[in-house]
Amino acid sequence: MREKAQAMGALTVAPGTDVTGIDVENGRVRRVRTDQGDIETEFVVITGGIWSPRLARMAGASIPLSPAVHQMISVGPVPLFADTVGEIKYPIIRDMDTNGYERQHGSDMEVGSYDHRPILWDPDDIPSLTQSKLSPTELPFTKEDFDESLEHALELMPDILGDPAVGIRHAINGLLSLTPDGFPLLGETPEVKGLWSVAAIWIKEAPGIARCVAEWMTSGVSEIDPSSSDIARFYDHQKTQAHIKGRTAEGFNKTYGIVHPREQWDSNRRVRVSPFYEREKALGAVFFETAGWERPNWYESNKPLLAEYGERVMPRRYEWDARWWSPIINAEHLAMRDRVGMVDLSAFAVFDIAGTCALDYLQKVCVVQMNLPVGRVIYTSLLNPAGGIKADLTVMRLGTNHFRVVTGGADGMRDRKWFADHLPEDGAVQLTDLTSGWATIGVWGPRARDLLQSITDADVSNEGFPFGTCRFIDLGPVRALASRISYVGELGWEIHVPFEQGLRLWDAIWQAGQPHRIAPVGIGVYGTTGRLEKCYRAYGNELEQEFNLVETGLARPQVKPQDFIGKEAYLKQRAEPPAAILCTLTLDDNTSRSGF
């Protein structure tokens, strides 16, 4: 591919050239400095693999990965492969039980392992070309780390690897790239315009990733959705060396393992805790982590609800299905539906958008009509230029030129970059990240209104506080921003307060909720059962850039007259039959054909 690009005049290669610096002016990349001269450019794509963090630092950006050792030996010549034509004829064997693989390569059998201890390297400690015999990525082999893996391989293939005629012809500690969450690092860096990352790419992903990023850079959208690998996803604490080293060390042995989709990380926990954390611990909260936040997924103190609801709780019979889950989640769901529940939502990402042109700016970015009365809150999608769903979130209008955006914590940094990328250059609109300054509690259920009315003089009746409105009210000892919306389908409010007042809010709601048998409710309900019962979608699950509003059932009866990103594509999608339709299925009987 490289040779073809060179022949077409589309690529210039400068082998043996050292990059000495990357110049940035007014937040945008301007040139690359090398020992052979400077290159003026508006775009730099860092594809330096394990060296990528060093290159990014030259521009004041971060590419959060760690080089890690992966051991491999080459055994041969194998008699079985003597007549093999070509490098590869036999299938690769993946031994999931031992975190290893065996693959034929010419007359040899290669044995690789991810079962040894994590051996991480600092990018600054990688040997130079002059210090390396073959390649800086091939380090001296540490036999003691591989002995057990070799025993497993001999047990699996005794006739091939145990043949007296074969021997170990090559053995290395090879370096590869690991990231804190195991996903690649793609896209424009949030720190520097025009500086793109294509890092932590494994060979099997390379062709598809190359096409994805090329489309992304040239048209603003790619055929496949790169959101889960967007380098903008990381918060600042996730770019620290403590986080990078802790998570990559923990994740190394999971590279070839079977990882449960709900499995939680052990390393670098309790980085972000809400003001309610100690109260939640006292209630037996089982914490799951999102974007560094410790969020209760369910509460062991709600175990008595299992007896109250009996068979309605629907326990899971299979061990795999029941991992990282509890029937208490379903019981909390029923308790909130029957009475009232309170949910810690402090992991929300919160942004203020203000300025004389704030309304015009949001009209451009958001799909729905944003020219709403002060005190309204509305759900909206954000689209990419092709009409794919870039984000979904809520916006409150707090003043004529003042709006507040609330979005999911896991999506917060990607969404912030999208908003920042489309700000007017004249400074007429300001974007302020308030995430660490506000704590949020959701109060929902048929008794939510009675509970709130008991601690406020404000009118929270349906007439006095309609759905889709927000305003500041006194709740017990605190002044709170109450927003009457619901992601769980029940009557209620999201209640936002300054972070330092969060504990007072929790205590006030908890005490006032006792006559109503209030239940602390975890994210297991809020993020799964509650929203699904109401058929609400979630970004990263049902919603992504590969789907549009028509396909996902989010198209509204009318389209606003103002222009917005993705409008042209959206109008075309509305006029054509959808390729697919997202719908909710309900079961009259959840028993499978096998009787379970």
Sign of the CA dihedral running 412, 418, 424, 427: positive
From the list 70, 116, 333, 496, the catalytic residue is: 70
To which residue do tokens 């170990």 refer?
168
Q: Residue 284 corresponds to which tokens in the numbers above?
A: 């037996």
Backbone phi, psi, residue 9, to 5°: 80, 15
Burial of 71 (0-12, 13-18, 19+ CB in 10 A): buried
**Residue of 392, 526, 539, 570 marked active site:** 392
Cβ contacts of residue 38 below 8 Å, gap of 6+? 31, 32
CA proximity to 388, closest of 551, 188, 537, 212: 551
Q: Which of 101, 256, 277, 526 is catalytic?
A: 101
What DSSP letter does each residue of 358-386 carry, written as one string?
HHHHHHHHBSS-----TTBEEEEEEE-TT
CB atoms within 10 A of CB 535: 13
Q: Is 461 exposed, middle or buried (0-12, 13-18, 19+ CB in 10 A)?
A: exposed
Catalytic site includes residue 101: yes
**H and E: helices and strands count for the chain:** 17, 25
Active site residue 392: yes
Name the burial class of residue 127, with classes exposed (0-12), middle (13-18) and buried (19+) by CB atoms within 10 angstroms of its CB.
Answer: middle
Residue 460 in contact with residue 492, Cβ under 8 Å?
no
> Is position 114 annotated as part of the catalytic site?
no
Residues near 365 by Cβ (< 8 Å), separated by ≥ 6?
Answer: 382, 418, 419, 422, 564, 565
Amino acid at 330: N
Structure token digits, residue 330: 């379903």
Q: Residue 46's closest CA among 231, 318, 251?
A: 231
- Just list the catalytic residues: 70, 101, 392
